[in-house]
Amino acid sequence: MTGRDLLGIEDLDRADLERILETAERMQEVGRRDVKKVPTLRGRTLINLFFESSTRTRTSFEIAGKRLSADVVNFTPSSSSLTKAESILDTAMTLDAMDPDAVIVRHKVAGVPKRIADALAAPVINAGDGAHEHPTQALLDCFTVKQEKGRFDGLTVTIIGDITHSRVARSNLYAFTKLGAEVRLAAPPTMLPSGIESLGAKAYTSLREALEGADVVMVLRIQQERLDGCFFPSIREYASTFGIDRAKLRYAKDDVIVMHPGPINRGVEIAHDLADRRPSVILDQVRNGVAVRMAVLYQFAGRKASREG
């Protein structure tokens, strides 16, 4: 593996990604047992340091850690010293002094996991930072696609929604292109960030063109508060132009699958009846998230890493 920390997919190469996905397959088998626990990380301590609330991702990491027999500690900033204006680095260094084997960080501002990683002895795993990266989400998305399609080469992955504010879009863009797939991004022009094509994807403002021949459709959550920033005029107009339903899906391949990182806004970016049934694989993504995070913890928290290591 390239580095001590998992800060973003941008830092990984294809071999790194394939290794994690292969490990995740073995981890998935653990989840199918009656006793869903192996002793791999026994005696290790993991800290979930979530400055931004996220019940889903935090729970997924917690279950992943516990299935590996690690001790998982959740640090909840709202009820702690952060309200006393302690700096983020001071908080992180205080936790680091308790010798955890990995710190899993989520923050609403891009770059915070990197700053924390620079300061800590423990490896840092990014659980989502601002609009920068969400590497474990991309890994579980890739894992899901691999299970469905068996390959990445030659696939077309279309990501639809607020690309500007999406860490999921960025991490998936890096992951799928590194693995050999073609990535398309579709959004209103206000939600396609400047220079996005320099990252290796093709940008579309026509949903139909973006869907043409797609193997995978990934739908992003649209956030009501973007109305304030003048990014789109109304939920209604967004739903009618970029919301995905079965009629629009006909432009894609017959065996297309539909993914969503959750939580979903039914009837907004995804039609109600599409969210629950094939070709949607949204709950498979959640299930796979545990196996993929077990693989990540195994690789990044499983060795007693040193600052130099």
Partner 1 sequence: MASGRIWIRGGRVLDPSMGRDEIADVLVEDGKIAAVGADLAASGGEVIEAAGAWVVPGFIDLHVHLREPGQEYKEDIASGGRAAVAGGFSAVVCMANTQPVNDDPSVTEYILDRARQESPARVYPVGAATRGLGGEVMTEMVALVDAGCVALSDDGKTIMDSGVMRRVLEYSQLARVAIITHAEDRTLVREGVVNEGPVSTRLGLPGNPSTAEVIHVARDILLAELSGAHLHVAHVSTAGAVDLIRSARERGIHVTAEVTPHHLTLTDEATLGYDTNTKMAPPLRSAKDVAACRAGLADGTIDAIATDHAPHAVHEKDVEFTAAPPGVIGLETAVPVTLDLVRAGEISPLEWVRRLSTNPARIIHRAGGSLAVGAIADIALIDPERRWVYDPAKGFSKSRNSPWAGREMIGCVIATLVGGVLVWDVERGVLLP
Determine the distance from the C-alpha atom of residue 130 to the mean position of all C-alpha atoms in its chain, rounded to a whole number.
12
Ordered strands of the 45-50 beta sheet: 71-75, 45-50, 102-107, 124-129
Residue 11 Cβ vs partner 1, minimum distance, rounded to whole Å: 12
Give the CA distances from residue 51 to residues 83, 109, 144, 237, 241, in Å, rounded to whole numbers and listed in that order. Answer: 11, 10, 28, 33, 34
Residue nearer to partner 1 on the CB measure, 38 or 89: 89
- State how far the Cα of 71 lies from the Cα of 99, in Å rounded to an integer: 12
By CB under 8 A, residue 43 contacts partner 1: no
Does the footprint of partner 1 cover residue 68 (CB under 8 A)? no
Closest CA to 183 of 9, 7, 2: 9
Q: How far apart are CA 306 and CA 309, in angstroms?
A: 5
> Near partner 1 by CB under 8 A, which window of 33-41, 61-69, 84-92, 209-217?
84-92
Nearest to 263 by CA among 291, 224, 211, 233: 224
39 in contact with partner 1 (CB under 8 A) = no
Contact call for residue 184 and partner 1 (CB under 8 A): no
Question: What's the min distance (Å) between Cβ of 78 and partner 1?
Answer: 17
Q: Which is nearer to partner 1, 130 or 302 (CB)?
A: 130
Based on the shown chain and the rule CB under 8 A, indicate whether residue 286 belongs to the binding site for partner 1: no
93 binds partner 1 (CB under 8 A): no
Report the residue number, 230 or 247, with the smaller CB distance to partner 1. 230
- How many angstroms separate the CA atoms of 138 and 121, rounded? 26
Q: Rounded distance, CA 231 to CA 268, Å?
A: 15
**Interacting residue with partner 1 among 10, 18, 71, 284 (CB under 8 A):** 10
Among 53, 80, 87, 240, binds partner 1 (CB under 8 A): 87
Considering only residues 195 to 234 of the shown chain, the ones binding partner 1 according to CB under 8 A are 195-196, 198-199, 229
Neighbouring CB atoms inside 10 A of 159's CB total 27
CA angle centred on 110, ends 191 and 113, rounded to 5°: 150
- Interaction between residue 107 and partner 1 (CB under 8 A): yes
Shortest distance in whole angstroms from residue 34 CB to partner 1: 42
Euclidean distance between CA atoms 25 and 29, whole angstroms: 7
4 binds partner 1 (CB under 8 A): no
Residue 182 CB, nearest approach to partner 1 (Å):
19
Q: Work out whether 130 is an interface residue with partner 1 (CB under 8 A).
A: yes
Binding site for partner 1 (CB under 8 A): 10, 87-89, 107, 109-112, 114-115, 129-133, 167, 170, 193-196, 198-199, 229
